[in-house]
Structure 1
Amino acid sequence: MNMKRICILACIVIAGLTSCKKFLDTQPTDFYTTTNYYSTETQLQQALNGVYGDLMRPELYAQVMGFNFVSTTDEVMSNRTADGDARGLRYNYDASLVHIASIWRYAYVGINNLNTLLDNIDKPTMDASRRNIIKGQALFLRGFLYFILTSNYGDVPVVLHTPAINDVNIPQVKQADVYAQIEKDMKEAEVLLKDYTVTQAKFNDVVTLTAVQAMLARVYLYWAGYPQNNTAKYQDVITYTDKVILSGLHALNPDYRQVFINLATDQYDVRENIWELGSLGAAAGVVNKSGNDIGNFVGIQSALTALDSTSYNSAGWVWVTKKLFDAYETDPNSAVMPNKPSLDIRRDWNCANYIYSGTNPRTKAARPNPWQMCAGKFRREYVPQAIRNTNGVGGTYNINWPMIRYSDVLLMRAEAENYVNGPTNAYNYVNQVRKRGYGLMNGNVVKSITMVNSGDGYTKVPAVTITGGGGNGATGTAIITSGKVTGIYLNSPGALTLGSYYTTPPVVVIGTFWTPGASYTTGTQITNGGILYTVTTAGTATNTPPVNTSGASDASVTGAVFTYAGTAATATATITTGNESDLTPGLSKDAFQLAIRDERMRELCFEAVRKADLIRWGSFVSDMQNFASWATANGAGVTSTGNPNGLQGVRNVSARHVMLPKPTYELNLNRLLTQNEGW
């Protein structure tokens, strides 16, 4: 392995330098070795920090792990051609691709550094509880890196100590045995970190007790699925998700969107995000790390320009799928076309229906076709101005990566419960996630706005104001077709904080009402007495309201002239009833499992778990083949409105893509490695 070559070379250099100086009988002072390092608590912590920092390398979670090999599924597809193939996006890669080697190489570099740390963990004199925290985190991270390796490459070598100079060829271990080692490391870490929680750490970009338990639940979930199919592990999923749930340390953020805004604005949400990987600019956690590509390739397209202080840089190299867009429930009573408003807040956050184009000026352009909507979950527009850099070139970004969230724990709990005991007691967990998705965690929100009268004569889009009902924060946009207000697109169902929910339907006002004494400019449209007027002469209105004269100028005001334009539009609002988001009751075990699969896509899209989910369900290849047929029939191949490049990537999927190939470079170094089937 490459990491062993690094170690071997280092040992050779050190041996050469010290052998010619034996007569001095001194320790080196101008460079570090295992002999003169790891001698203090500070040095142990620095070594651990280095591994945390390396997790946010471009070769791991700063780019590759969240983008390269997970960006063509049924929820998201690359829009690239040649670039997509060079980065592994369209399943045209082989074992020699540099990004194939990156995951392997840097996972083992991390493991080697952790092994060296663990080999020297007892060296310094220090507080035992502090030593346990460092050792527990190191053991967990080693298990986690092996989890990355085995879930991507299958059977891999397991190295638990710093390799000796002659350890060149190390055999790979069966995946079941790799899982057993991961379990051993993480369970030992759980014991060592038993008193180290997010309450004590105050940050979630370090490993705490519930991070270990949540990730161990994910390990068991993968172990239970394909290719191991060790279904006894579902009971372990229940055990470990219950530990997280019953700890009382974690909860859903009432606003799904805020979870990702917090990641962009350096706000730690230790209750929702059980473990996240920190990046540049984050609050003072373990270590300040470099910037990353989160929100770039998988983000809303925009160019960075010094002429626009709100600008940011994002390539937007993937688009969502119509399957994902259609998976979110819409308002059946809405007349808005072509895309009805969704009752699920997650849709319009995850499926961004706009891009930014140009640089001088930068303009916002609509993207109404789902096949060409950007992945909107990680939004760089929320990144602090000082970090994203507006000098017209480059740009540095700080968004943290959400490694595992509380909603995932709830969905894992529901899936495992359904497998072991059936769906009866599993509903509670999935419905918590759905209630948050619909904005109903703490009360009712605006559900729908229905047109009572579409009016006529509108030449401009009127403002929509939603007030009363005991709540606030609901907003909408009028849709104008041939001078009529044909619908109201509900942009937000309301503010999702305690005290801002609705108890009765609010009042919807379309347009601006006539105000006595106000000044009006030419072209302004106002409403009075159910009539729409257009200001044809600028001026100030008197206290006498305009009178409908069926098209003639109204002379009852001084200065401003109001001309009849048509009938004013009106609409009414309805609010939710608190349980409308709940999953359909009475589902069979199989139907509930299918519902969980869709819910995981709606909740966790673009968080690099969909492909792994499809693989562990044993349906990756067949699902991609079926999706390719569905996507073709539903417009994905149309150049002007679809995503033919992404569709081709889906069509390229075959059985060999269940696992990544072992890197060619590593096979040449370690003769005991065996290439995965199909490569």
Structure 2
Amino acid sequence: MKIKRIYRLGTLALLAAAFSACSFLDTDPQIIPDEGYYNSEKKLIYGLAGVYGVLNSEALYGHYYSLQIANADDLCYFNNYNNGESRPDRYNHSAGTTVIYDAWSKLYEGIKNANRYIEAVEKTNIDPEELSVDIGLYIAEARFLRAYYHFLLAQAWGDVPLRVKATTSPNPNDVQMAATPQEQILKWCADEIEATIPDLYETVENTPSRVSQTVAQGILARVYLFMAGETVKEIEGLSKKEMYNRAAYWANQVIISNKHDLNDSYEEVFINMIRDQYDTQYHESMWEAEFLGDRTSATNWTNGRIGDLIGLRSQSGLTNYSEWACNYSYGYYNGSYTLWQLYWTEDRTADEASDATKITDVRQEWNLPGYNFRGLNNQKITYKNKEGVSVTRYLKQAQSMYKTPWLYNNGFATPDIEGLDQTIADAFDPADLVYDPTIMCAIRNAGKWRRETVYEKQMSAKSLYTTINFPILRYADVLLMYAEAINEYAGAPDDQAKEAIRKIRRRAGIKTDESQLSDYRSFRDLVRNERGRELAFEGLRKWDLIRWGIFVEKMHNAGTNAPTENKYHNVSYTNYLAANYANVAARHIYLPIPTKELAVNHALKQNSLW
């Protein structure tokens, strides 16, 4: 492993990008200097940082887009039942919701920066002998990012303005631009990304911080899959079947490159992101939004709240932070009962299901652990031990310093309870316990982005911003995209698609019922469920449900899918989930065009149903 390095493209440029203006046309021009500036490789990299930099903003992968907009799906929900705000993850948002405007304007800031950079670099007279790579690489990266930002806009908002030329702020005529139909935007994105592939890095040495050929190929597969979806209109001369064919082709290009593989350990994929390290062995994490610091100083800045807002809850009145086993986290997002069932009910073979105390899927154990770090202290507990004898014991555990198991009526969700004080009279002994791994399974924190200090650098104080990266593309997703696309194109899975699914499931430690690989319908259902199990909390599920044409249905089902037994859930959480998901309607397939944008761009019209 190696620590993240300068290929994050210039800390100072990212800092400049963090302080954005109110309009995407008014961003500080120092981020992307004009023609004549790019006379050295250092300056080329510095300028490119302004194009990449928006990925690392709080408005995009640091928080607003990655969590509030993209991560509220049938498997993940916002759990703060005391919160009454207008939020996309509560589906009570409007065109005036700040989060939606900030994400919109940040994406167009990235597009504006890309346009200015491309035009300036194309005019530079720099001597090619002074460069370590062809200047076309820098232009290709900027073009790719410009297309990717347009893809995110079209995916979330539908019809949006297509901006491929640098604007000349504050010229008001540059603001006025009507929306281009979604299907045309997506087709342009696909063509543009494909055109950049020959000029991008062939190696994966600089990934996951920069875009390589295989990253572009994987994202291109994602674009074509979305284009083939139920909500996108037909494109003349390009059938849905052909789009599935192209998605399969580009995913396969990644596979046959042999530059990526699955990490033997599912957990380590995310531990690497928490540790602030690159995986240079497997390169499973192909592209990440990177976060550099914790805001303890102006030179240690970050916009990332991954692990803080989504992670294992770790809060306490104690302030001896250096002793905590998990850094401070609100833990505002839980895995739903629907996600639990994907692991526990939908995917256990008969022999696996026969042992009600054993979790077989390592992804379930990592993503929905039986503990967080709320803290227990001097708690009295009465229970029956393994001999069936009723005993009364005491738990003494310093708050937020050790794992806190989920409890119900003196039952524990995990047998591994560390940090208990065994010196007190009648101390609890975990060895006495027959534990139940299903306790509170419907309200567990999203464990994928935990801030346990065994992985994350120890903080000396409460820190709301983290260095934890967020994955944009993983090789596991590429395998799943290939499997889905070839099944949709051919009407049945081929041998490579079947093996892709087996490979992912072998890594998870679970068996595969071969009958699920035998026909189109069974394989389609298996792939869809496998995407949920593998990619939960990574901001992809919502768009999957939308392109499959089942978004509203699945969201309503998740809202009403409450366990019947009290040991599985807490009514406050599940009622809040149900109320939020009851808000979901057909109009939520697209976000509303922000009110502020409509106020300045009179050529735009609000999305239907908003």
The TM-score normalised by the length of structure 2 is 0.78
How many angstroms does 1:221 deviate by? 0.6
Q: Is the 8 A contact 2:325 2:454 kept in 1?
A: no
The structure-2 alpha-carbon separation of the partners of 1:639 and 1:350, relative to structure 1 and needing over 3 Å to count, comes to closer
Calculate percent identity across the aligned residue pairs. Answer: 31
The letter of the residue matching 2:506 is K
| Range 655-664 or range 340-349, more displaced | 340-349
Point out where structure 2 has 5 or more consecutive residues left out of the alignment.
1-19, 235-239, 377-397, 407-438
Give the superposition deviation at 1:427: 1.2
Structure 1: distance between partners of 2:587 and 2:335: 24
Taking the TM superposition and a 5 Å limit, the aligned residue runs for 1:45-444 are 45-81=45-81, 83=83, 85-122=85-122, 123-127=124-128, 129-164=133-168, 165=171, 166-193=173-200, 195-199=201-205, 201=206, 203-228=207-232, 230=234, 231=240, 232-270=242-280, 271-280=283-292, 290-303=302-315, 305-307=319-321, 308-328=323-343, 329-330=347-348, 340-358=357-375, 361-362=399-400, 363-367=402-406, 368-382=439-453, 386=457, 388-391=458-461, 393-421=462-490, 422-425=492-495, 426-438=497-509
> How far apart are the structure 2 equivalents of 1:133 and 1:655?
42
Name the CA shift for 1:237/1:147 in 2 (closer, same or farther; >3 Å). same
Q: Report the equivalent of 2:8.
A: none
Q: Given that residues 229 and 549 in structure 2 are in contact (C-alpha distance below 8 angstroms), is that contact kept between their aligned partners in structure 1?
A: yes
Cα deviation per residue 1:7-30 (whole Å; 9 max; x = unaligned)?
Answer: 46979xxxxxxxxxxxxxxxxxx9
Per the alignment, residue 464 of structure 1 pairs with none
Relative contact order higher in (CA < 8 Å, ≥ 6 apart): 2
C-alpha displacement of 1:389: 1.9
1:499-518 alignment, distance < 5 Å = none
Distance 1:315 1:229, change over 3 A: same
Partners of 2:231 and 2:569 in 1: CA distance: 36
Cα distance between partner residues in 1 of 2:118 and 2:365: 46
Q: Deviations over 1:80-109 (max 9, x none)?
A: 235363332211110000001011100000
Residue 126 of structure 1 deviates from its aligned partner by: 3.6
In structure 2, how many angstroms separate the alpha carbons of the residues matched to 1:263 and 1:648? 34
Give me the CA root mean square deviation.
2.9
Q: What is the CA–CA distance in structure 2 between the aligned matches of 1:229 and 1:32, rounded to whole Å? A: 36
Question: Following TM superposition, by how much is the alpha carbon of 1:635 offset from its aligned partner in structure 2, in angstroms?
Answer: 6.8
Count of paired positions:
510
Determine the C-alpha separation between the residues in 2 that align with 1:336 and 1:299.
Answer: 31
CA distance in 2, matches of 1:32, 1:324: 43
Alignment deviations for residues 570-629 of structure 1 (CA, whole Å, 9 cap, x no partner): xxxxxxxxxx33553454312211111110000000000111000000110122223334
The answer to whether the 8 A contact 2:76-2:335 is kept is yes
Is contact 1:3–1:105 with CA below 8 Å preserved after alignment?
A: no
Distance in structure 2 (CA, Å) of the matches to 1:8 and 1:396: 27
Structure 1 CA distance, aligned partners of 2:591 and 2:567?
A: 26
1:226, distance to aligned residue in structure 2 (A): 2.3
Kindly indicate which of the two structures has a greater share of residues assigned to strand.
1
Q: For 1:236 and 1:336, how far apart are their aligned partners in 2? A: 42
C-alpha change, 1:3 and 1:215, in structure 2 (3 Å) is farther
Please state how far the C-alpha of 1:400 moved relative to its aligned partner. Answer: 1.1
Q: SS state of the match for residue 85, structure 2? A: helix
- 1:447-596 matches, within 5 Å, as 580-581=511-512, 583-585=514-516, 587-596=518-527
What displacement does 1:638 show? Answer: 6.6
Distance 1:373 1:424, change over 3 A: same
Partner Cα distance (1:345, 1:31) in 2: 44
SS at structure 2 position matched to 1:628: helix
Deviations 1:313-339, CA, capped at 9 Å, x for gaps: 1101121112211212447567999x6
Give the 3-state SS of the residue equivalent to 1:85 in structure 2: coil
Q: Evaluate the alpha carbon distance shift between residue 330 and residue 32 of structure 1 in structure 2; reply closer, same or farther with a 3 A threshold.
A: closer
Secondary structure at the aligned position of 2:90 is classed as coil
- Structure with the greater alpha carbon radius of gyration: 1
Task: Give the counterpart letter for 1:389 in structure 2.
Answer: M
Q: Which has the higher helix share?
A: 2
Asked if the contact 2:269/2:284 (under 8 Å) is kept, the reply is: yes
Instruction: Tell me how far 1:44 sits from its aligned partner.
Output: 2.1
SS in 1 for 2:174: coil
In the TM superposition, residue 33 of structure 1 has moved relative to its aligned partner by 5.1
Find out whether 1:666 has 2:593 as its counterpart.
no
Query: Under a length normalisation based on structure 1, what TM-score does the superposition of the two structures give?
Result: 0.70
CA drift of 1:70 comes to 3.3
Farther off after superposition, 257-266 or 630-639: 630-639
- The answer on whether the counterparts of 2:183 and 2:233 sit within 8 Å (CA) in structure 1 is no
Distance in 2 of aligned mates of 1:233 and 1:642: 41
More off after superposition, 623-632 vs 406-415: 623-632
Distance 2:269 2:32 in 1: 41
Alpha-carbon distance in structure 2 between the residues aligned to 1:594 and 1:207 = 32
Correspondent of 2:530 among 584, 599, 606 = 599
Contact persistence 2:471–2:538 (CA under 8 A):
yes
Amino acid of the residue matched to residue 376 of structure 1?
G
Q: Tell me how far apart the structure 2 counterparts of residues 656 and 635 of structure 1 sit (CA, whole Å).
A: 34
